[in-house]
C-alpha cells in the first residue's frame, strides 16, 4: 500500500494525461466524424469516394499499426517533405500530438458511421417541413437536424468514446507518459506489477463509470419528446 501511495502522484499525473489525450482526440474525432458523415451523404461523387476510402481504410487496419505508422512514418514523411521543398526545418512531433492525431483520425472514421446513421434516422418529412416553412438550409440544420442528430448519435457516440478512452493505453507504446506507462514503470521498479495494474484497472473503471453517468445525462437531455417503451 505504501508503495502505491509513494507512486500516487506519478499515477495521477498519468491519469490526467490519459484523460487529456482522450478528450482532445474525441474532439478531433467528432469534427472528422461530422465532416466524414457530410461527405458520405453529400451528393458529390468525389466526397463520397474520399470518405468511403477513409472509413474503409481506417476500420480495416489495427489501431496499433496505424499509430506506429503515423507516428514514425508521419514524422519522417513531414521531414522528407520539409527537406525536399525547404518549406520548413526539422520537425519533431510530440508524443502527445502524435497520440491525439492518430486516435482522433482513427475514431473519426467510427464517428463518421455513427453520425451518418443518426442523420439517416431523422425522418425526411421533418426536414421538408422546415424547408416548406421558408427555413434556409443552415436554419434547418441548426433547429431541426442537429438536436435530433445528437439524440440518435448518442448511443453510438458513447460506445465510441469508451473504446477511444481505452485505446489511449496504446499511446504508452509511443512512450507517452500516460496512465499505463506510469503504472508499468512503477510496477517494474517496485516489482509489484500486479498491484499497480490492479490500481490502473480501477482507475479506468472509475473513468468509464463517470463517462457512463455523463452519457446517461446527455441522453436524458436530448430525448425530449421520445416516447419511452
Please list every residue from 68 through 107 that binds another protein, using CB under 8 A. none
Residue 136: CB minimum distance to another protein, A: 6
Residue 227 interacts with another protein (CB under 8 A)?
yes
Name every residue whose Cβ is closer than 8 Å to that of residue 179 and which is 6 or more positions away in sequence: 11, 14, 15, 17, 18, 168, 169, 200, 203, 204
**Residue 220 in contact with another protein, rule: CB under 8 A:** no
Q: Does 225 bind another protein (CB under 8 A)?
A: yes
- Under 8 Å between Cβ of 173 and 67: yes
Nearest approach, Cβ of residue 3 and another protein (Å) = 53
Residues 147-176 that bind another protein (CB under 8 A): 147-148, 151
Can you tell me which of 144, 153, 199, 207 binds another protein, judged by CB under 8 A? Answer: 144
Nearer CB in complex with another protein: 56/131: 131
Which is closer to another protein, CB of 95 or CB of 151? 151
Cell of 106: 482513427
Which residue, 1 or 224, is less far from another protein as judged by CB? Answer: 224
Given 46, 132, 191, 220, the residue binding another protein (CB under 8 A): 132
Residue that is written with C-alpha cell 421558408 in the block: 134
Q: Is 212 in the site for another protein (CB under 8 A)?
A: no
Per-residue HEC secondary structure of the chain comes to: CHHHHHHHHHHHHHHHHHHHHHHHHHHHHHHHHHHHHHHHHCCCHHHHHHHHHHHHHHHCCCHHHHHHHHHHHHHHHHHHHHHHHCCCCCCCCCHHHHHHHHHHHHHHHHHHHHHHHHHHHCCHHHHHHHHHCCCCHHHHHHHHHHHHHHHHHHHHHHHHHHHHHHHHHHHHHHCCCCHHHHHHHHHHHHCCHHHHHHHHHHHHHHHHHHHHHHHHHHHHHHCCCCCCC
Residue 145 or 199: which CB sits closer to another protein? 145
State the nearest-atom distance from the C-beta of 225 to another protein, in Å: 4
User: Could you give the string, one character per residue 112-131, with x where binding to another protein holds by CB under 8 A and - elsewhere?
Assistant: -----------x-xx-xxxx
Nearer to another protein, 93 or 135 (CB): 135
* Segment interacting with another protein, rule: CB under 8 A, options 5-13, 27-35, 142-150, 165-173: 142-150
Binding site for another protein (CB under 8 A): 123, 125-126, 128-136, 139, 143-144, 147-148, 151, 222, 224-227
Amino acid at each position: 500500500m505504501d508503495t502505491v501511495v509513494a507512486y500516487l502522484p506519478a499515477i495521477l499525473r498519468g491519469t490526467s494525461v490519459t484523460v487529456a489525450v482522450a478528450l482532445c482526440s474525441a474532439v478531433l474525432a467528432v469534427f472528422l466524424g461530422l465532416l466524414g458523415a457530410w461527405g458520405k451523404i453529400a451528393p458529390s461523387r468525389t466526397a463520397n469516394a474520399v470518405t468511403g476510402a477513409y472509413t474503409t481504410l481506417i476500420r480495416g487496419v489495427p489501431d496499433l499499426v496505424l499509430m506506429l505508422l503515423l507516428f514514425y512514418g508521419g514524422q519522417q514523411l513531414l521531414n522528407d517533405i520539409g527537406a525536399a521543398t525547404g518549406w520548413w526545418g526539422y520537425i519533431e512531433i510530440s508524443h502527445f500530438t502524435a497520440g491525439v492525431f492518430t486516435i482522433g483520425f482513427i475514431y473519426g472514421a467510427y464517428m463518421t458511421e455513427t453520425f451518418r446513421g443518426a442523420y439517416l434516422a431523422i425522418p425526411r418529412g421533418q426536414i421538408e417541413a422546415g424547408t416548406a416553412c421558408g427555413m434556409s438550409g443552415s436554419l434547418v440544420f441548426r433547429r431541426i437536424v442537429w438536436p435530433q442528430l445528437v439524440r440518435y448519435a448518442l448511443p453510438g457516440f458513447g460506445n465510441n468514446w469508451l473504446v477511444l478512452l481505452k485505446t489511449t493505453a496504446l499511446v504508452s507504446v509511443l512512450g507517452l507518459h500516460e496512465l499505463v506507462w506510469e503504472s508499468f514503470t512503477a510496477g517494474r521498479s517496485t516489482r509489484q506489477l500486479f498491484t499497480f495494474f490492479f490500481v490502473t484497472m480501477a482507475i479506468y473503471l472509475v473513468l468509464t463509470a463517470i463517462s457512463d453517468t455523463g452519457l446517461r445525462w446527455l441522453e436524458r437531455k436530448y430525448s425530449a419528446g421520445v416516447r419511452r417503451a
